[in-house]
Amino acid sequence: MAGLIHGLDPEAIHVNLERIRAEAGPDVEILCASKYVPLEEMGALAEAGLTLVGENRQQDLEAKQERWGAEAFTWDFIGNLQSRKVPRLLGRVRLLHSVATDSVLTKLESNDASGTEVLVQVNVAGEEGKGGVAPEELGAFIGRCPAPVVGLSTMPPFTEDPEDSRPHFARLAELAAEHGLERLSMGTTQDWPIAVAEGATIIRVGTALFLPASAG
């Protein structure tokens, strides 16, 4: 889904949401990845019953939050987290899903991060050039984080077969258990059922919510 989505149908979104909710179970949060939802279409998400949204860009999050406020949605940040963006996100979001660099930790330390919990992004697959903390460095990184670390997140390598993501999700769950962390943000439209089976507590779903209900 390469461009902004227009003409969202709240009824279809609601049907898709309830279908996913029934399959995922009551303990899994369904986060709507709203990167491609323009500001004027956010009302369709609220009408459909979505309450948790995740934004990839700080500027878009600010614009949407200023229009819709904290009453309509709970806001998370799920995109690549640049250190210079940290001060503008603190106080605006519930969770930062992608804390993964020492420069971000420095910004968290120099700003009031007490009201924002974080998920450490882990590069479970060891992909070159991909963001995320290496599994063997996770404990030390968590120890350096000045904000409350409540869980982990990951994005496994792209694959046509969702089953290929299973070992990466399973490894993230193992790491979370080793470090006493309860939240696991993993799984997208393509592979969220696999993520749930391996212990996801938050799934980030976009396209699967926006499809016509009959296509779900």
Q: What is the pLDDT of residues 80-122, one digit of tens each?
A: 999 999 999 999 999 999 999 999 999 999 998 878 999 999 9
Q: What is the pLDDT of residues 136-156, one digit of tens each?
A: 999 999 999 999 999 999 999
> pTM of the entire structure?
0.94
Topology, domain 10-210: TIM Barrel (3.20.20)
Backbone angles phi and psi of 30, in degrees to 5: -100, 110
The pLDDT-based confidence of 75 (bands split at 50, 70, 90) is very high
* The predicted structure's pLDDT at residue 1: 43
% of the chain surpassing 70 pLDDT:
97
